[in-house]
Structure 1
Amino acid sequence: MHELDQRDPQHEVARSRQRTTRLARYQLDVVGAHVADVVDSAGGWLFDRVMAGWDVRVAVADARDLAALRILGVQPIALRAMFDGPDIPTAFALAGAMCGEDDRVRDVLAASVRSARTEVTVWGDVWLPSVGRRGSAVRHQLSAAATVFKAQATIAAGLGSTVGPFEAFRSYGQCVRTEYPDLLPVG
């Protein structure tokens, strides 16, 4: 008991702060050509990430009707806003076609892949010769809820309601380590 009386209270507060886990939310920034492409190619994965507690922001070049994105629970933002902020996302995903459409997208993708600090996921065809590799094939198996919400989002985007069990991507750089990994290697 005498030992407890001699402890420095400031030292104890400092130690307790070191043990406190930081409750930071992961952020996924997504860039697509249009809403239908995002929903069709990555809608289930985006929904599952939102349900896992991620902040998911989606910017599309053609942002006419964003209802389908709202069904998935993502936050639609303007394309210019994606590149204006100081925040570096935990993860960055995009339609490969956007690399040829917007220099900012290609530059952010190349910088993210080179830095290896950001999880980079691409759907569609893209290869960055400056990086020197095509990335690894990965896929996401949709949860039951993601299948239902993606079906509703595909209807809202004018695509019909057929939803497959998987979505396929190419992964560059590091993958975010979570208790339940959602992007698994193909093969």
Structure 2
Amino acid sequence: MRYRLDVVAPTALDAVKSAGGWIYDRVMAGWDVTVLLGNDDDLRPLQILGAETLDLESVLATWESRPHPQTVAVAAEYFERDPRVLAHVRKALDQGATEVTLWGESVPAELDHDVDSAQHYLSAAARAFKARALAAANDSAANSVGGTETFRCGMLASVAADLVPAS
């Protein structure tokens, strides 16, 4: 069995900037990583990281019949855009079988008590591939990829040994 990570992001660039190193490291660890996008972005930056992509709308329509991932990562701003995303995240947190990882500033108050700060320390390869993906998206951050990515995470005691509590 391969582990699965589904990433919900408004744009490919947002996924790369916020979680690109983590995405790459999970792919290299043998995970199936799928980024679910709400628009028709240039997918090349995500392909550089090794992620597959799907249209978010089609996935939301078939969410219950889709195999459940071990981890779902969501850009917190998506909760305001689509209440279905918040409903699925809330359900995953309540069931406790799926790790939920969030990034961004607008975490809804109702989820705030269920998630704690966590960090992913990027491998050297992840930093290099994230920089290349950012460059492919013509983003100026390509020259300054840091060594960590910060998230809010629920259910830390899971298969996600690559996320550690932030101090």
The TM-score, its normalising length taken from structure 2, stands at 0.90
Return the offset for 1:186.
Answer: 0.8
Residue 171 of structure 1 corresponds to which residue in structure 2? Answer: 153
Larger Rg: 1
Query: Can you list the C-alpha shifts for 1:78-119, whole angstroms capped at 9, x where unaligned?
Result: 112332142111110010000000111111111111111100
Give the letter aligned to residue 138 of structure 2: G
Residue 29 of structure 1 corresponds to which residue in structure 2? Answer: 6
Correspondent of 1:102 among 73, 82, 91: 82
Answering whether residue 48 of structure 2 is matched by residue 66 of structure 1, we say: no
Residue 182 of structure 1 corresponds to which residue in structure 2? Answer: 162
The TM-score, its normalising length taken from structure 1, stands at 0.81
Cα contact 1:136–1:185 (8 A) shared by 2 = yes
Residue 136 of structure 2 corresponds to which residue in structure 1? Answer: 156
Query: 1 CA distance for matches of 2:130 and 2:110?
Result: 35
The count of residues paired between Structure 1 and Structure 2 equals 162
After TM superposition, list the pairs within 5 Å mapping 1:22-171 onto structure 2.
Answer: 24-83=1-60, 84-85=62-63, 86=65, 87-131=67-111, 133=113, 135-160=115-140, 161=142, 162-171=144-153
Summarize the Cα distance change of 1:62–1:158 in structure 2 as closer, same or farther, 3 Å threshold: farther
Cα contact 2:79–2:108 (8 A) shared by 1 = no
User: Deviation above 6 Å: which 4+ runs of structure 1?
Assistant: none
Return the offset for 1:76.
Answer: 0.7
Query: Can you list the C-alpha shifts for 1:42-94, whole angstroms capped at 9, x where unaligned?
Result: 00000000000000000111232110000000001111233214211111001
Query: 1 CA distance for matches of 2:47 and 2:83?
Result: 27
Give the letter aligned to residue 113 of structure 2: R
In structure 2, the gaps of 5 or more residues are: none
Cα contact 1:43–1:72 (8 A) shared by 2 = yes
Summarize the Cα distance change of 1:132–1:71 in structure 2 as closer, same or farther, 3 Å threshold: closer
Residue 14 of structure 1 corresponds to which residue in structure 2? Answer: none
